[in-house]
Structure 1
Amino acid sequence: MKLFDELKWRGLVDNVTSPDVEDAINNEQLTFYIGTDPTADSLHIGHYSSLLMAKRLQMHGHHPIMLVGGATGFIGDPKATGERNMLTPEVLQKNYDALHAQISKLWGFDMVNNLDWTKDITIIDFLRDYGKLFNVNYMINKETVKKRLDSGISYTEFSYMILQSLDFYTLYKTRNCTMQIGGQDQWGNITSGLELIRKKCGADVKCYGLTMPLITKADGTKFGKSESGTVWLDPKKTSPYELYQFLFNTEDTKVIEYLKKLTFLTKEEIDALEVSLNEEPHKREAQKALASQVVKDLHGEEGLDSALKITNALFRGSFAELNDAQKLEAVAQMDQIECPCGLMLEDVLIQTHIASSKREAREWIKGNSISINGNKVNDPQMLIAQGNCCVQDYMILRRGKKNYYCVKMKEQEN
């Protein structure tokens, strides 16, 4: 399978600006770029497919450039929902430094900052040298801008397209960068960049654009910073265990798509996992493979080992084998119920709504269905206090094999 065919099989090609893109990807060694703005101090899972796309191309002889938009971050790419909040220079610099360190550590890509070639352009030069080449009618017909016309869009965000076009033009002139890759929502910015290059350098210039489908959840919403429950690539913001659990809980309808887009597993390996998913979905082999591959690629064998250790400890109820940091990672992923200290176990079950009555609570306790921090308990009148916590103020109750409850103990008020 040729590289472009593999990219299509993986679902990584949404649109291309020329039929020549396929031949260029298969047979040339292109310099291309992917960009992101420093609007947060970490990349998230929504960026991951694009970064792997760059790595896939690099492995076949192409040269990736990662652009972190120190300039465009001041402006903000227009959203369909409304104006972005302006970030201060201090926050943008902090975010830029964090992204630079993260990308360098994980992928080692060649990196550039568009503030370097934008900061010294005067407003007069900007309008004469670049603004004059953009037709307003052309700009307002771009999909993202068009969606904002009724609600309104500031000139600041409207001009974002020109700034990003300037990036492509500058990288073409200075680095012989002939292709830009972005999400499907970047089509308008990419084609505008190509137009600027042709107007500045001639219509016969061979430059290309490729867009990728956005990674979405089963409900159709995309992964991103503006969505709830952001999954970060920084292990301090989303631990390896949290990432593992997030991916392990992928719906059956999405897991094969994610395996294609977020891992380097071969077609044969993914096809075998798809057979397992269809014939024995309860084993969740596809989800295990997805979670293991992504966590290992991002956080190494050590991160994967820790994630699996916490997962297995929760499954078996063997909390004693975890250190305090791992216990806190597990606790962070559980719904927490507050309960005062000094109650009998049967009353704790009622107070936390685990049991609906004392009779039910006693039956469960005496029937060896209740565990505290992995240890079976069978005394309904056992007093529960801070000493029963497994880490900090948290106690893990389990009913049966699958029902876990994280109880946060608090001192009784006088």
Structure 2
Amino acid sequence: MAYTTGMTLASRSLIPICSKTFLSPLRVASLLSFPEKSSTTFFRRHQIHHLFSTSTTPLFSPVKCSTLETEVQAVSRPNVVDILQERGLLESVTSENLRSACSDPNVAPLKVYCGFDPTAESLHLGNLLGIIVLSWFQRCGHQAVGLIGGATGRVGDPSGKSLERPELDALTLEKNIAGIKNILVKILGGNASSYVIFNNYDWWKDMTMLDFLKKVGRFARVGVMMAKESVKKRLESEQGMSYTEFSYQLLQGYDFVHLLDKEGVNVQIGGSDQWGNITAGTDLIRKILQTEEAAYGLTFPLLLKNDGTKFGKSEDGAIWLSPSMLSPYKFYQYFFSVPDVDVIRFLKTLTFLSLDEIKIVEDEMRRPGYVPNSAQMKLAEEVTRFVHGEEGLKEAVKATEALRPGAETKLDWNLIERIAEDIPTCSLPIDRVSGVSIVDVSVSAGLFESKSAARRTLKQGGVYMNNERVDNENKRVEEEDIVEGKGLVLSSGKKNKVVIRIS
């Protein structure tokens, strides 16, 4: 949608107690034991953040409770806006009052939404920052809201696009919506009361054109709409802009109106390219609901590499968050390959490690004897765990270790089958493999373009069969080299690999 920790003691107030209690007595005691002065330091904020991260239960639950009440001292929530700013995850806010609102113990926890249009069956790395920012709000005691654009996805957001998106049929849209919902539930899940997911098709499907003009159109000013950066760029291009795309900002803007009015959702977040759409929403809220401070917008920077290019694309295309479209192994490998110049910044923006922990990693990188890619390994572990869970991380680490040239891990065919989805694969008859020289087999499999190239690499010690270095250029593939009689893995160096299936 495109529609993509300091704690202080405050005045006494009433906190409701119910079956889903906000805080266990142990956690209350530990939180209240911090002296008031400690709230001014980011170090303390992150100590308390770690307390959150050990449990999927949010500190302040948004669930509705019974009328039973007890008098305790209120504790302010960690200031999530400050945390985002310190980690490089804050671009702009529509009002600085959001800073106080997000941590004021006398203000109810915020409901914060990010939109995701169902343009594909899976979200991708470009959407991940939105989920991470939602999760930061969630971890600081607020409610995360995912909005799937079942209606806006039929229109297409022109922000950052040079061409109009192709129209998707209803069946594809439904499939995409289901896929995106599954990803959001998996990543934001744990405590169902800390997040909720909506589909904007639910309130757009019954709105007629006349309703739209009456409810929304009469409050919009064409001059303001034309001044939006996404609109100006498209109007200046040869392709121009359709009325459908031009109206997108009003659709997204009204989503905010509806969510605030009907669901109490009072914060919208998005990438920096969403500023125009987000402010369209706050403008409509001010005019339609006649309120100034009830709603806030927050944007975060786009995910860029050090050279200014977009981060999130590989040679094979988008970095998908769904394991059915990109395996946890390949997802892990993408982050493991991040350049040193980018890794610390990505540890701040893409993980929930404290800044103190990240500083330790940064210092280690400067010391003599630093093991190359240790920081990248930490980044890959943290992001893969967040997106794919512990099981996905275990699968990725196991495959990475098994495919490392010289690894002691014995390859089995089940593991080779899993990684075959992520590396080049070919099929050869048994008589072109068994008893044939490793040089000939590697050329037949496409690992090398010529026998001379294969021999040259072999002499340099760069050819591996099933992770074992081949030292003899006269080596022939033997029957026991074929894993379970089904195939083998050949490698040239650390990265170039091919799975050979016996046909």
Residues in 1 aligned to 2:120 and 2:96: alpha-carbon distance in whole angstroms = 36
Change (3 A) 1:64 1:390: same
AA of the residue aligned to 1:123: M
| Secondary structure at 1:26 match in 2 | coil
The answer (yes or no) to whether the contact 2:427–2:500 under 8 Å persists in 1 is yes
AA of the residue aligned to 1:46: G
2:234 aligned residue: 148
Correspondent of 2:498 among 403, 406, 410: 406
Residue 272 (structure 1) aligned with residue 360 (structure 2): yes
Shift of 1:25: 2.1
| Secondary structure at 1:283 match in 2 | coil
Residues in 1 aligned to 2:344 and 2:456: alpha-carbon distance in whole angstroms = 45
The answer (yes or no) to whether the contact 1:277–1:284 under 8 Å persists in 2 is no
Residues in 2 aligned to 1:95 and 1:375: alpha-carbon distance in whole angstroms = 43
AA of the residue aligned to 1:8: Q
Residues 147-194 of structure 1 deviation map (CA, whole Å, 9 limit, x = unaligned) = 100230000111111111110000111112221111111100110111
1:110 aligned residue: 196
Q: Mean alpha-carbon deviation: is it higher for 61-70 or for 263-272? A: 61-70
The answer (yes or no) to whether the contact 1:44–1:225 under 8 Å persists in 2 is no
The answer (yes or no) to whether the contact 2:487–2:500 under 8 Å persists in 1 is yes
Change (3 A) 1:103 1:204: closer
Residue 361 (structure 1) aligned with residue 455 (structure 2): yes
2:403 aligned residue: 314
Residues 33-84 of structure 1 deviation map (CA, whole Å, 9 limit, x = unaligned) = 1111111111122212211211111222212211111110110111431100
Q: Mean alpha-carbon deviation: is it higher for 179-188 or for 278-287? A: 278-287
Shift of 1:410: 8.1
Correspondent of 1:345 among 421, 434, 438: 438
Shift of 1:354: 4.2
Residue 61 (structure 1) aligned with residue 141 (structure 2): yes
Unaligned 5+ runs, structure 2: 1-41, 43-78, 190-194
The answer (yes or no) to whether the contact 2:148–2:199 under 8 Å persists in 1 is yes
2:331 aligned residue: 243
Residues in 2 aligned to 1:15 and 1:171: alpha-carbon distance in whole angstroms = 21
The answer (yes or no) to whether the contact 2:267–2:296 under 8 Å persists in 1 is yes
Residues 323-357 of structure 1 deviation map (CA, whole Å, 9 limit, x = unaligned) = 43432343444456888825433434566574966
2:72 aligned residue: none
Residues in 1 aligned to 2:457 and 2:168: alpha-carbon distance in whole angstroms = 57
The answer (yes or no) to whether the contact 2:411–2:483 under 8 Å persists in 1 is no
The answer (yes or no) to whether the contact 2:336–2:380 under 8 Å persists in 1 is yes
Shift of 1:371: 3.5
2:84 aligned residue: 7
The answer (yes or no) to whether the contact 1:242–1:329 under 8 Å persists in 2 is no
How do 1:220-239 residues align onto structure 2 when only pairs under 5 Å count?
220-223=308-311, 229-239=317-327
TM-score by length of 1: 0.88
AA of the residue aligned to 1:406: V
Change (3 A) 1:324 1:408: closer
Residues in 2 aligned to 1:362 and 1:397: alpha-carbon distance in whole angstroms = 16
Residues 89-131 of structure 1 deviation map (CA, whole Å, 9 limit, x = unaligned) = 1111111122222212321320111111111111111112211
2:163 aligned residue: 82
Residue 166 (structure 1) aligned with residue 271 (structure 2): no
How do 1:121-140 residues align onto structure 2 when only pairs under 5 Å count?
121-140=207-226
Q: Mean alpha-carbon deviation: is it higher for 275-284 or for 145-154? A: 275-284
Correspondent of 2:172 among 77, 86, 91: 91
Residues in 2 aligned to 1:305 and 1:81: alpha-carbon distance in whole angstroms = 40
Residues in 2 aligned to 1:218 and 1:391: alpha-carbon distance in whole angstroms = 45
Shift of 1:316: 4.5
Residues in 2 aligned to 1:226 and 1:363: alpha-carbon distance in whole angstroms = 26
Residues 8-31 of structure 1 deviation map (CA, whole Å, 9 limit, x = unaligned) = 011111011112122122324212
Q: Mean alpha-carbon deviation: is it higher for 311-320 or for 113-122? A: 311-320
Shift of 1:246: 0.6
The answer (yes or no) to whether the contact 2:466–2:489 under 8 Å persists in 1 is yes
| Secondary structure at 2:157 match in 1 | coil
2:417 aligned residue: 328
Higher RCO, Cα 8 Å, sep 6+:
1
Shift of 1:386: 9.2
2:489 aligned residue: 396
Residues in 1 aligned to 2:303 and 2:121: alpha-carbon distance in whole angstroms = 21
| Secondary structure at 2:344 match in 1 | helix
Residues 294-341 of structure 1 deviation map (CA, whole Å, 9 limit, x = unaligned) = 112222322222222221222254586344343234344445688882
Correspondent of 2:386 among 297, 301, 306: 297
Residues in 2 aligned to 1:116 and 1:296: alpha-carbon distance in whole angstroms = 33
Correspondent of 1:120 among 190, 203, 206: 206
AA of the residue aligned to 1:217: K
Change (3 A) 1:325 1:257: farther
Residues in 2 aligned to 1:226 and 1:396: alpha-carbon distance in whole angstroms = 23
Residues in 2 aligned to 1:383 and 1:24: alpha-carbon distance in whole angstroms = 71
The percent identity for this pair of structures is 38
Change (3 A) 1:99 1:407: closer
AA of the residue aligned to 1:276: E
Aligned Cα root-mean-square deviation (Å): 3.1
The answer (yes or no) to whether the contact 1:14–1:211 under 8 Å persists in 2 is yes
AA of the residue aligned to 1:163: L
2:264 aligned residue: 176
Q: Mean alpha-carbon deviation: is it higher for 68-77 or for 312-321? A: 312-321
Residues in 2 aligned to 1:225 and 1:349: alpha-carbon distance in whole angstroms = 29
The answer (yes or no) to whether the contact 2:306–2:341 under 8 Å persists in 1 is yes
Q: Mean alpha-carbon deviation: is it higher for 377-386 or for 214-223? A: 377-386
TM-score by length of 2: 0.73
AA of the residue aligned to 1:292: E
Change (3 A) 1:88 1:320: same
Unaligned 5+ runs, structure 1: none
Residues in 1 aligned to 2:469 and 2:451: alpha-carbon distance in whole angstroms = 20
Shift of 1:224: 6.0
Change (3 A) 1:362 1:123: closer
1:213 aligned residue: 301
Change (3 A) 1:227 1:166: farther
AA of the residue aligned to 2:222: V
Residues in 1 aligned to 2:130 and 2:281: alpha-carbon distance in whole angstroms = 19
